Amino acid sequence: MKKTLLAALIMGVVAAPAMANMQLAQKYACTACHAVDKKLVGPAYKDVAKKYAGDKGAEAKLIAKVKNGGSGVWGPVPMTPHPSIPDADLKALVKWVLSQK
Ligand code: HEC
């Protein structure tokens, strides 16, 4: 009984980060314009990750971009600003986007 509980706990901890970030993306309606592997209104998160692979400044740059919105990198359509998302959540979202493969 104890072992099963422990195993469930460990699995929960391992599976939680990816889930939590998908839930964040849904919570903040990023998923209205973005999907992981196909272009919707905005670029696929996989394409974003590919574009910034190896770019050390990407995390800070993209956090600011999501917060302030803007256009011109992927096309003329602007992303809306998201000024009310807490920085910790913004950081988690951007890290998650950049970790897509
Ligand atoms: C209204 C639609 C819309 C919503 C909602 C939206 N995005 Fe975007 N997003 C876009 C568009 C359009 C672009 C491309 C902007 C450009 O070409 O510069 C983009 C670009 C991006 C980029 C790449 C930026 C760059 O400069 O390369 C990231 C990262 C991103 N979005 C993350 C998010 C996250 C995280 C959320 C949720 C908090 C979100 N987006 C919500 C439309 C949206």
Q: What pLDDT, in 10s, does the model give residues 68-88?
A: 999 999 999 999 999 999 999
How far is the centre of ligand 1, averaged over its atoms, from the C-alpha of 13 (Å)? 29
Q: What is the largest CA-CA distance in the chain?
A: 57
How far is the centre of ligand 1, averaged over its atoms, from the C-alpha of 66 (Å)? 6
Contact (Cβ atoms closer than 8 angstroms) between residue 32 and residue 68: no
State yes or no: pLDDT of 96 exceeds 90.
yes
Q: What percent of the chain lies above the pLDDT cut of 70?
A: 83
**Residue 97 near ligand 1, beta carbon < 6 Å:** yes
Predicted pLDDT at 5: 63
Q: What pLDDT, in 10s, does the model give residues 16-60?
A: 666 688 899 999 999 999 999 999 999 999 999 999 999 999 999
Q: Which residue owns the Cα nearest ligand 1 atom 37?
A: 30
Distance CA 13, CA 31 (A): 24
Q: What pLDDT, in 10s, does the model give residues 37-46?
A: 999 999 999 9
